[in-house]
């Protein structure tokens, strides 16, 4: 009862807190954001555990199904997510994982959201879960890097980040990419390693952007459960691209390059 009461109070506090923060995002493809008015695709999203507050606070709705830990230390955040509007599949690599994986695999209505280094780490190390899930269900996998300027940080394994009021928070949405079906273990491992490096690069970009505070062309405000004005009309013009090493490895995996459609972040 105590945890339920605290989680309800916490969700109320976060509703007010999130309105004090300057949230902005940049995209390889804006349609990969669930609030885009022209988005009809269902996605599998992956972002590091330490930055999970940003999607929790901004994209909470019944069309989002998140993997949440069954461990006791995950109960508070899970209840807060429910109060904010998330649907949850409870499980992890060490407890209830198969049941949660099957629930997500069978869900045909919602976007799926995972923290691939949670709930116990190692920090910023991609697990095989998002890769195997995206491969089996045939949905694009979208890695999203997040960053805050000078956040409060916990002392746990992930150094959990909490944005300060009136601070900057940034997101860099990677390209929506299909993982081929029926991959063997070695192939899954190759994709796991590549997507892990991609997510680390996206996170580095978001953190540098948030820390610098330098405005850059092409960014959009990231509003709470809604699209910013003009989002659907934004022209896609080549600007920032993946590092050559990442792009070359992707070509080796897929035999085709990623389209150069990322615009500079602000």
In sequence order, what are the residues at sequence separation of 6 or more whose Cβ sits closer than 8 angstroms to the Cβ of residue 207? Answer: 145, 147, 148, 170
On whether residue 260 sits in a domain, the answer given is no
Query: Into how many domains does the chain fold?
Result: 1
Sign, CA dihedral 159-163-168-171, equals positive
Question: Domain of 224: which CATH number?
Answer: 3.40.1130
Element (H, E) at 66: strand 64-68
Please give the mean pLDDT across all residues of the chain. 86
On whether residue 76 sits in a domain, the answer given is yes
- pLDDT band at 220, cuts 50/70/90? very high
The residue segments making up the domain with residue 133 are 2-254
CA distance 162 to 214: 21
On whether residue 263 sits in a domain, the answer given is no
Say what the pTM is: 0.89
On whether residue 54 sits in a domain, the answer given is yes
On whether residue 259 sits in a domain, the answer given is no
Mean pLDDT check: name the lowest of 93-102, 193-202, 205-214.
93-102
Residues 239-254 have pLDDT tens digits of: 568 999 999 999 999 8
Sign, CA dihedral 249-256-205-60, equals negative
On whether residue 199 sits in a domain, the answer given is yes
CA distance 228 to 235: 14
On whether residue 262 sits in a domain, the answer given is no
């Amino acid at each position: 009862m105590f945890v339920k009461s605290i989680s309800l109070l916490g969700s109320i506090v976060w509703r007010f807190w999130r309105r004090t923060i300057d949230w902005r995002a940049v995209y390889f493809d804006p349609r990969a954001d669930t609030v885009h008015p022209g988005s009809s695709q269902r996605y599998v999203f992956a972002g590091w555990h330490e930055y999970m507050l940003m999607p929790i606070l901004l994209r909470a709705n019944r069309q989002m199904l998140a993997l949440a830990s069954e461990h006791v230390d995950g109960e508070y955040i899970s209840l807060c997510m429910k109060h904010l509007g998330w649907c949850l599949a409870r499980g992890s690599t060490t407890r209830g994982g198969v049941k949660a994986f099957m629930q997500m695999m069978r869900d045909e209505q919602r976007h799926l959201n995972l923290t691939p280094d949670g709930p116990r780490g190692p920090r910023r190390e991609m697990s095989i879960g998002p890769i195997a899930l995206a491969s089996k269900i045939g949905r694009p996998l979208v890695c999203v890097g997040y960053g805050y300027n000078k956040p409060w940080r916990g002392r746990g394994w992930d150094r959990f980040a909490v944005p300060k009021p009136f601070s900057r928070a940034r997101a860099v949405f990677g390209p929506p990419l299909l993982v081929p079906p029926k991959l063997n273990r070695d192939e899954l491992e190759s994709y796991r390693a590549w997507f892990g490096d991609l997510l680390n690069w996206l996170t580095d970009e978001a953190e540098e952007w948030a820390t610098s505070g330098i405005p850059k062309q092409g960014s959009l405000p990231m509003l709470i459960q809604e699209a910013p004005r003009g989002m659907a009309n934004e022209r896609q013009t080549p600007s920032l691209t993946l590092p050559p090493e990442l792009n070359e490895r992707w070509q080796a995996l897929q035999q085709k390059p990623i389209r150069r459609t990322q615009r500079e972040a602000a």
